[in-house]
Amino acid sequence: MAQNRYPAFPSRMQLQQFKQRTRGAKKGHSLLKKKSDALTLRLRQVVQEIYDVKLQMGDAMKAAQFSHTEARRAAGEFNSRVIASIETATTVIACNKESVVGVNILKFEKVEVGTKDEKFMGLAGGGAQIRKCGELFDKTLELLVKLASLQTSFRDLDEALKVTNRRVNALDHVVIPRLENTQQYIMTELDEGEREDLFRLKKVIAKKKRETDQKQKEKAAEEATASATDQNDTYEEPPSILDQYMTNNDDSVADML
């Protein structure tokens, strides 16, 4: 129990602080759980798109290669002429960022920045086949760019999902249980302290009561002793029979004279 809680001094202030931390941890766990679900959903969508693009990629590459073979058959070896006629790139790859529940992922797009020089291509000599081959390779390039974008997104989403799941698991299995155990520990210690204070108070009251009773008994004994002493001081002995006889004899003698 002591190993599965945070070190804390048991007090009301610490209990309030840990309650606030627990509420914050549970709120963060709920938000991270929603983020994890959103990332999982988007990751599944990306995986499905990657699967579809790869299926299209196979057909597109096959069609482009077959078209290139047909163009070479019709126009001969034209690769060197095409390469020599191109001075600047007509297609570039633009890189943008997309935010998915706070996670920035890269997104690639094919952008046309110039016009293609097709002066050497005529109607004869396989020009139509060369243009068809170029169009098919352009479509293949678009699929390649899309596939690269999806795979990059998959990598970023997968990494973000792993981090999010680790945080969710840490909050769920480590942080929140420790916070709750710490709260329970503080509450137990406070209750124990209150019971000790109540027991101590009862003992003090009982002791004071015994002292009061003892004082009352001592006071009652003193009063009884003082009353008995006063009675002894005011007591007068009655006259004896001899004194009465002597008094009576004196009166008789006086009468005789």
Residue 257: the pLDDT is 45
The pTM assigned to this predicted structure is 0.65
Q: What is the pLDDT of residue 253?
A: 42
Which pLDDT score is estimated for 244? 56
Would you give per-residue pLDDT tens digits along the chain (257 residues)?
556 888 888 888 988 999 999 999 999 999 999 999 999 999 999 999 999 998 888 888 888 888 878 777 776 776 677 777 777 777 888 888 888 888 888 888 888 776 665 555 554 556 677 778 778 888 888 899 999 999 999 999 999 999 999 999 999 999 999 999 999 999 998 898 888 888 888 989 988 988 888 888 888 888 888 777 766 555 455 555 555 555 555 544 444 44
- Classify domain 12-190 at the CATH class level: mainly alpha
Among candidate residues 89, 91, 94, the one with its CA nearest the CA of residue 149: 94
- Please state, in angstroms and rounded to a whole number, the distance separating the CA atoms of residues 130 and 117: 12
Write down the pLDDT at residue 254.
46
Q: Among candidates 68, 78, 64, which has minimal Cα distance to 139?
A: 64
SS3 34: helix
- Where b means 16+ CB within 10 Å and e means fewer, 116-136 reads eeeeebeeeebbebbebbbeb
Radius of gyration of the CA atoms of the chain, in A: 55
Q: Tell me what pLDDT residue 256 has.
A: 46
Confirm if 214 and 36 have CB atoms less than 8 A apart: no
Distance CA 89, CA 112 (A): 9
User: Which parts of 76-126 fold into alpha helices (H)?
Assistant: 79-85
Taking the C-alpha atoms of residue 45 and residue 229, their distance in angstroms, rounded to an integer, is: 110
Of 167, 146, 154, nearest to 43 by C-alpha is 154
Domain borders along the chain are 12-190
Distance from the first to the final alpha carbon of the chain: 119
